[in-house]
A and B are shown apart, each in its own frame.
Chain A
Amino acid sequence: MPRSGLRNRINLATSIAALCLFISQASCKPNRNDNRIVVASAGKITSLDPAQANTFHTLQLISALGDTLYKIDVNGELKPNLAKDIPKISENGLTISIPLREDVLFHDGTRFNSLAMAFSLKRFMRIGTLSYIIGGRISSIETPEPYLIRLKLSRPSSSIIGLLTSINLTPISPKAYERHTDKFLNRKFIGTGPYQLTTFRSQHQRLTPFPLYWNKSPRNSGIDFISLSNSTSLFGALQSGEIDVLLSNSIDEDQRRSLNKMANEGLIREGAGAAMEIGYITLRSNIYPLNQKIVREALLHSLDREQISERVSYGLREPLRAIVPPSLSHKSNSPWPTYDPQTAKKLMQEAGYCETKKLTLPLTYRSNVPADKLLALTWKAQIKRDLSDCLNLKLDGVESTTIYRQLGEGAFQAVILDWRGAYPDPEAYLSPLLSCNKSKEMVCEEGEAAISGSFWTTPFMEREIRLSDELRGPNRKKKLNEIEQSAAKGAAYLPVWLVKPRAWAQNHLAKPEFNGSGQLLLESLRQIK
């Protein structure tokens, strides 16, 4: 070998060795305080104001920084939290009295009392971007005693109790927010929760245990809540040990499956919460061809949910034949029909299709949601297999922002969507899909049913929803079931699946636990030997 060639090779080897040495030196991980836990999720947090929060990870974070008046426990039962007892409802149902705990401090040291609670509720009603969820039900808020708050309602409302578990109604310190009574405070949060916020950046929030917390102290020394922009990064970060806990929002189905498999093999720990998110298909019922109820019914029978669940999510998304999550409705039967291709074909034939005529139906899915595309493709394949001479689905991927904008304008014949109620009550699922302010026979012209793109209603639907809210106990439950049955008969919505929130933790941590509202209990995360 010539000397120059040898020298070149030596140079090359030296360079590679130097590069490796540099990378290995750069890769020396800085020391981590082992008692702090790094929790990762997708998406940035741009505001921590409870009057503004509407994304899963923001609500998750606020749930650790603040407390609500009531909370739903793992068994789905309502439990007092900052309230001392269950609410007392007057006989006419128009006044709700809530006694408050007297031993609670905000993170700024000020005391939590009825004035603070009233301040928070009024602020939310005034500037809260989701204030419509109260829907004019609260007409006034009174503070007759320092630790008693009284809500005067404009009409009797059973769902208001569920609403009081909403994270958006988390009390905040009047002193800390005195300059923000009419505007948002994005980068701070002064609540009563087990953690206080010590650092806020859109990609990183640091939580430290609040030493004067009224309830049990967190079982860790603090949380670093970070956000990464995509599923692959989150998955990789858990695999490499860079993060301790991973939340399931925005994790792709393949990676969910891998994580589930890893948990089953004992490599990581998996925790799952109450399923609060439903996936469904809206059918536009006020225009040909889906204004024919029989065609919509045929579509209801054509969907093989079990196969879709298996193909799309490897069984991790539960097949669903209701629009209210079963954990909230506590019912044993499912109102929507099961998969039955023969009945579907019969119904299509009755509608005049199959022999000489074949219906082509556009199905729109959110192009930025991978599971939606897989669902659309699988359903299309099922219809091709079972009803090829009657029906054909024409798939159309549209960015979700555009879909939401054009949904109420009736731009889509059939569209795949999902929904998560703002509070754990059946009303938070039925009303947003079925409520209607102005209708003509079976067509909703104004209201939630129109906004949701189905335009379907019945002449008595709004009255029934109102009535259900005025009833209590078993009567309410019966009425809610009747409304859901009616929606199933109307066939304007096709519930597809139910999504459980999941979290995966490294093996040196205990299994992640969730509360009844589907929030990960950050304070219960702990190291184990």
Chain B
Amino acid sequence: MGRGRALLQYCATRLALAPIMLWLIASMVFLLLRIAPGDPVDAVLGTRANELARSALRAKLGLNQPLIKQYLDFIKDLSHGDLGEALVNQEPVRNIIQKALPASLELGITALIVAALIGIAVGFSGVSRAGSKTDLAGRLYGISTYALPPFWAAMLVQLLFAVILGWLPVGGRFPPSLLQPNGTGFLLLDSLVSGNWSALQGTIRHLFLPSITLGILLSGIFSRALRMNLSRILEADYIEASRSRGIKESQILLKHALPNALLPVLTIAGITIASLIGGALLIEVTFSWPGIAMRLQEAIAQRDYPVVQGIVVVVASLVVVVSVIVDILVATIDPRIRY
């Protein structure tokens, strides 16, 4: 079988299996939520509602139906792309996700760019001067950022740049004094498209601290992965052969070693993107970033079953899609990979 055909078959299989995987995930979330103690009625009525009011609301929300009927209704609606309505305020779950997901993606993408830039720079500079102080500092940086608790780092950054220096906002996604541009929900893009420069500036100011913090925290993984792979590749036979042919060291590093070393980094980037789709909870909570992770956390606390189910299913779908895309990318770049 040709390589292209094998790849196509692999992707088709992955995508064909996706609905089964999503069904399993959705079923597990449905079941686990109902097993967990707590009642969505409490979130809506408060704790003091009498049993009559509670039963009436339970009936209105369909929570008095047998569990199997609730489950079958949920799966039926899901198969039609209907994620239902939030129990707490009857807002369609689709709308909730549409509002929260762009915030998480915007933060995740920016943080990933920061992480990749810093990670590659640190990893590359370490290998190019192996054993030097720069290398040592880079390795120390990689371990430290990897080990730092995100909430602690975020609070520290918040305290320094927002509270003490007052340079940047403490939290939120957009300045309260301005009107948020309408559009895709990606505020950077919406501000640019509408040509609203003060909105763009406000968005950047709010995005700066969370994305830099998250980017720095993620960069350690990139720098370590790059350094490790680059060191291994620099000892490979084809590199030795290049050296013996008199090719310059910088050219060997940039043209022959780096592209190969970046392949595992691409895989790591894929995994990181997949995890960031679900939001970076601690960063979102610390910086009051209205992303999908924070929304999920609120929904779990309120036992808002449709919101939790909807978010999990959508995030899982996106993770499947992203991982397939990364696989295709890696296979396209690296001819050695077979499926």
A contacts, CB < 8 Å to B:
8, 23-24, 26-33, 36, 38, 44, 46-47, 49, 52, 54, 129-132, 135, 183-184, 186, 199, 201-204, 206, 224, 226-230, 232-233, 236-237, 239-242, 399, 401-402, 404-407, 419, 432, 446, 448, 451-452
Is there contact, CB below 8 Å, between B44 and A129? yes
A199: B residues at CB distance < 8 A: 179-180
A404 to B49, CA, bound (A): 11
Instruction: Collect the chain B residues with CB atoms within 8 Å of residue A405's CB.
Output: 37-39, 42
CA distance A26 to B172 in the complex (A): 16
B43 at the interface (CB under 8 A from A): yes
Pick from A132, A199, A206, A239 the residue with the most CB of B within 10 Å: A132
Stretch at the interface among B161-169, B224-232, B311-319, B324-332: B161-169
**Chain A neighbourhood of B286, CB < 8 A:** 229-230, 232-233
B98 beta carbon closer than 8 Å to chain A: no
Q: Top 7 A-B pairs ranked by shortest CB distance?
A: A27-B167, A224-B176, A236-B163, A401-B38, A228-B288, A229-B288, A132-B53
Q: Give 19 A-B pairs besides A224-B176, A405-B39 with Cβ atoms closer than 8 angstroms.
A: A26-B201, A26-B204, A27-B167, A28-B201, A30-B175, A32-B177, A129-B45, A131-B53, A199-B179, A204-B172, A229-B285, A232-B286, A233-B171, A240-B170, A242-B166, A242-B170, A401-B38, A401-B302, A448-B48
A86 to B201, CA, bound (A): 53
In the bound complex, how far is the Cα of B88 from the Cα of A44, in angstroms? 13
B89 CB-CB contact with A under 8 Å: yes
Instruction: Give the residue name and chain of the B residue nearest to A19 (CB).
Output: B212
- Selected contact of B177 from candidates A33, A230, A241, CB within 8 Å: A33
Look across to chain B and name the residue whose beta carbon is closest to the beta carbon of A127: B60
Of the listed residues A26, A31, A406, the one surrounded by the most CB atoms of chain B closer than 10 A to its CB is A26
**With contacts A24-B167, A27-B205, A38-B177 known, is A401 near B294, CB below 8 A?**
no
- In the complex, the answer to whether A203 meets B288 with C-beta atoms within 8 Å is yes
Given A186-B89, A201-B180, A23:B167 Cβ within 8 A: yes
Nearest Cβ distance between residue B299 and chain A, in whole angstroms? 10
CB atoms of B168 and A47 under 8 A apart? no
Q: Which residues of A contact B89 (CB under 8 A)?
A: 46-47, 49, 52, 184, 186
Most buried by A among B45, B180, B294: B45
Distance in angstroms between the alpha carbons of A229 and B170 in the assembled complex:
11
Closest residue of A by beta carbon distance from B39: A405
- A421 CB to closest chain B CB, in angstroms? 10
In which size bucket is the chain B interface?
35 or more
Which residue in chain B gives the minimum CB-CB distance to A44? B298
Given A130-B45, A132-B49, check contact A204 B202 (CB 8 Å).
no
Q: In the complex the two chains form, is B298's CB within 8 Å of A407's CB?
A: no
Q: Which residues of B contact A28 (CB under 8 A)?
A: 201
Least Cβ distance of B284 to chain A in Å?
8
Chain A residues within an 8 Å CB radius of B91: 46, 186
Cβ of A44: which chain B residues have Cβ within 8 Å of it? 290, 298
**CB atoms of A448 and B50 under 8 A apart:** yes
Q: How far is the CA of A49 from the CA of B90 in the complex (A)?
A: 12
Q: How far is the CB of B273 from chain A (nearest CB, A)?
A: 24
The answer to whether B290 touches A202 (Cβ under 8 A) is yes
| CA of A36 to CA of B170, assembled, Å | 19
Among B57, B169, B179, B201, chain A packs the most CB atoms within 10 A around the CB of B169
Report the separation of the CA atoms of residues A407 and B45 in the bound assembly, to the nearest whole angstrom. Answer: 15
The reply to whether B174 and A228 form a contact with Cβ atoms under 8 Å apart is no
Residues of chain A within 8 A of B193, CB atoms compared: none
A-B contacts, 12 listed (Cβ < 8 Å): A23-B208, A27-B168, A38-B176, A52-B44, A130-B45, A184-B90, A201-B180, A227-B288, A230-B286, A233-B287, A240-B163, A401-B301
- Measured CA separation A184–B298 after assembly (Å): 20
Q: Which of B25-49 contact A (CB under 8 A)?
A: 37-39, 42-49
Q: How far is the CA of A242 from the CA of B204 in the complex (A)?
A: 16
- B155 CB–A CB distance under 8 Å: yes
